[in-house]
Chains A and B, each alone.
Chain A
Amino acid sequence: MMPRKLTPLQALVMGLALIVVLFPVFWIVMTAIKPPTDWNASPAIWVPSKPTLINFQTLFNPDAIREYGVGGVSQAATDSVIGSLLASVSATAISVVIGLFSAIGISRYGNGGKSTPLVILSGRMFPPAAIAVPFVIMFSTIGLIDSYPGLIAIYAAVTLPFSTWMLKSFVEDLPREIEEAAMIDGRSRMMAHLTVTIPLIKGGLFATTMFVFILNWSEFMFALVLSYSNVSTIPVQLAKYVTATAGTLYGVQAALAVLAMVPLVIVGYRIQSHLARGMTFGAIKQ
């Protein structure tokens, strides 16, 4: 098909679509910089006349908002930000390292058999609420409930299929002969994989790491069910703010939402050419 130009009508459609896509993002960012008087104004205020960072300050210092005559937020979000970072970074590291080994093993030695992929895919279909139930029981028995090691273990395991399959597709893009040449040069198999394969898929490794980080950072249900007082993540904190204050602290909630989404959008743009591969378990490459 010859590349043709957009007709004016098509350009209009695309412009409207762009507005629809970007408006919600615009709205959350605007709400995050609204002073308390503008939060729940009726009719709603689209662009605050006096933008402020007070909402972001309040996240880390619950009393900051008092200067506007609004009662403080019950709980700072500091712990949940640290918790989110801790859980997603560690889980991502574990998931990607194990996934990398599995990916090389499966694609180079065909280990894992025909049925493993189906088992993994089936696991993805199981409602997380139901997997969470046995986890709560098992974790309470061995004292892992409401603890970061427990949460990290689950996150790593849940994202393992993604890291394995995404990395496998990168490893398979690499001709076997390169590794075989290294083995003929006298390197052991394992060394050949470690020193030849891995450096050559660096780009893919980075994309996979970022993709798995997105998944871990977004996870909500396991954190909701397995956290009580020691453990908190940003999504859980956001849900708590919404229930606890039922819409009275729009601005602070919006600030937390923006804080949660900014890293992901940056990371997402950075690896956008690999997103399709990640979401489809490597079935679609770009």
Chain B
Amino acid sequence: MNHSALLHTPAEAGTDSGTGVAARSSAPPSLRAAASGASGPTGASDTTGASDVPGALAPRPGNGTPRPRNGARAVALALTVPGQVVSLLVLVLPLLVALYMSFTDWSPTRGSLFDAEFVGFENYGELLIYDTRFTYAVLRTLCISVVCLSLEFTFGLGLAVLFMREFRGKSLLFSAFLTPMMILPVVVGYIFWMLFQSNGPVNQVLELAFGAGAGVEWFRSASFAVLAVIITEVWHWTPLFFLILLSGLNSVPENPVRAAVILGASPRQVFWRVVMPMLKPVIIVAFVIRSMEIIKLFDEVFMLTRGGPGSSTETISLYIYKLAFNDFQLAYGAAAAFIVLIGSLVLVHLLLAPVRDQLLEGGRK
């Protein structure tokens, strides 16, 4: 329902696209500056791609006899250009539009984006200095992330270690333990929303264990609502840690372990001093992948609490969503997104540094 206003306004703005284009050509200094500023890496690969074209297209790839150099280039381009075009059109272009937008005061009720007033860093300043709701959303998301990832890691590692032992029905149990991560986030959110109802099974079990009155109104209290989000998220994604860590444990070479045992190390020492250091790259990959996803936490929270009660479970993504699609403050929301992007880029690249090659060059295991 609340999309309708939004859907119509830009469409109307689109009908006078003539003026839109005119405005575009009169507005470009800022737009172009913004564009070239953001497209650093992509822009660079783009120009090298362009300089390859003439040389590659001149001699057509030979029919039958491969002409090593030029044929290879043409084929390479033919193979990779579609992907690059799609990424540029559908990922980079919107990013640039969002970046431009974040420097304006545009909102859909005010006509074309290109008529919007340029306000410089006003949105950014407002967000960083005055917007406590944003600050809290960021801190909340970080706290939830730290707690969730620690728990997921601990449970996942524990389970993976148990799976290094022998027991019957192992492959069946392995599948069973992976189940949660195969379920779509929206459904996970919905399931736990039902489980945490005041007359739901979670409260039933609590009352059974701790007596009547031990049940909790999960979605009425801020701290219990956050706890519900954490439990849901941990249930959903512990299997990923389990899966990654188990594959890491399975590929630990036997010789160093044997040597340590022969030298008299206790099982505990073997695990912490020999096995864990060898697991480090795998652990980092798991953390990086999960941090990238949990920073964007949205679906489950949307289904569980919609950010409530009040704004006590509002994550960054949920706040941006509400800004853009409930309050129509699109420019402001875009600025918030860029702050988050820069923050998470820094964070993930710091984390990533030790395993960058493994992750980007496609694994050397």
Please list the residues of chain A having a beta carbon within 8 angstroms of any beta carbon in chain B: 1, 3-6, 10-11, 13-14, 17-18, 20-25, 27-28, 31, 40-44, 46, 98-99, 101-102, 104-109, 111-113, 115-138, 140-143, 145-146, 153-154, 156-158, 160, 164-165, 168-169, 172, 183, 186, 188-190, 193, 214, 217-218, 220-221, 225, 228, 235, 238-239, 242, 247, 250, 253-254, 257, 260-261, 264-265, 267-269, 272, 275-277, 279-286
Name which of B25-33, B123-131, B182-190, B221-229 contacts chain A. Answer: B182-190
Contact of A130 with B336 in the complex, beta carbons under 8 Å: yes
Q: Are A138 and B97 in contact (CB-based, < 8 A)?
A: yes
Nearest chain B CB to A183's CB is how many angstroms away?
5
Quick check: B362 and A165 within 8 Å, CB to CB? yes
17 pairs, A vs B, C-beta closer than 8 Å = A14-B162, A20-B235, A21-B180, A28-B190, A105-B76, A120-B87, A130-B337, A137-B108, A157-B90, A158-B91, A188-B64, A220-B185, A239-B186, A269-B175, A284-B244, A284-B247, A284-B365
B159 interfacial by beta-carbon distance below 8 Å: yes
Are A40 and B184 in contact, CB atoms less than 8 angstroms apart?
A: no
Would A140 and B11 count as touching, CB distance under 8 A?
Answer: yes
CB distance from A260 to the nearest CB of B (A): 5
A23 vs B200: C-alpha distance when bound (angstroms):
13
Q: Which interface residue of A42, A112, A269 has the most chain B CB atoms within 10 A?
A: A112
Known contacts A109-B76, A189-B66, A250-B194; is-contact A127 B340 (Cβ 8 Å): yes
In Å, the complex CA distance between A286 and B248 comes to: 9
Which residue in chain A gives the minimum CB-CB distance to B106? A137
The answer to whether A125 and B348 have CB atoms under 8 Å apart is yes
Given A43-B204, A130-B98, A141-B14, residue A169 in contact with residue B167 (CB < 8 A): no
Bound together, the chains give a CA A104 to CA B79 distance in angstroms of: 7
A217 to B44, CA, bound (A): 34
From residue B108, how far is it (CB to closest CB) to chain A in Å? 8
| Supplied contacts A112-B83, A118-B41, A121-B348, 17 more A-B pairs, CB within 8 Å | A10-B162, A24-B188, A105-B78, A105-B80, A109-B75, A125-B295, A127-B340, A129-B325, A190-B78, A218-B186, A220-B184, A239-B186, A254-B194, A257-B190, A260-B187, A261-B187, A282-B362
Assess whether B148 is interfacial by the CB under 8 Å rule: no
Interface of A is mostly: helix
A120 to chain B, nearest CB (A): 7
- On whether the beta carbons of A18 and B177 are closer than 8 Å, the reply is yes
Please state if A136 and B10 are interface contacts (CB–CB under 8 Å): yes
Chain A: CB-nearest residue to B324:
A133
* B362, A261: Cβ atoms closer than 8 Å: no
Residue of B nearest to A137 (CB): B10
CA distance A18 to B348 in the complex (A): 32
The A-contacting residues of B in range 46-78, CB under 8 angstroms, are: 48, 61-66, 71-73, 75-78
**Does B149 belong to the interface (CB within 8 Å)?**
no
Q: Chain A's nearest CB lies how many Å from the CB of B173?
A: 7
- Determine the distance from Cα of A283 to Cα of B364 in the docked complex, in whole angstroms: 8
Tell me the chain B residues, 309-365 only, with Cβ under 8 Å from chain A: 316-318, 320-321, 324-325, 330, 333-334, 336-338, 340-341, 344-345, 348, 355, 358-360, 362-363, 365
Q: Is the CB of A264 within 8 A of B183?
A: yes
A153–B240 CA distance with the chains assembled, in angstroms: 28
Contact A160 B320 (CB under 8 A): no
Which A residue's beta carbon lies closest to that of B174? A272
What residues of B have a CB within 8 angstroms of the CB of A250 in the complex? 194
Q: Per a CB cutoff under 8 Å, which of A23, A98, A113, A146 touches B48?
A: A113
Chain A residues contacting B166 (CB-CB under 8 Å) are 3-6
Give Cα distance in the complex from A277 to B248, angstroms: 12
For residue B289, CB closer than 8 A to chain A, the reply is yes
Choice from B101, B167, B181 contacting A5 with Cβ under 8 Å? B167
B165 and A44 contacting across the interface, CB-CB below 8 Å: no
Contacts of A105 in B (CB 8 A): 75-80, 83
A115 touches B257 (CB 8 A): no
Which residues of chain A are within 8 angstroms of B80 by Cβ–Cβ distance? 101-102, 105-106, 109, 111-112
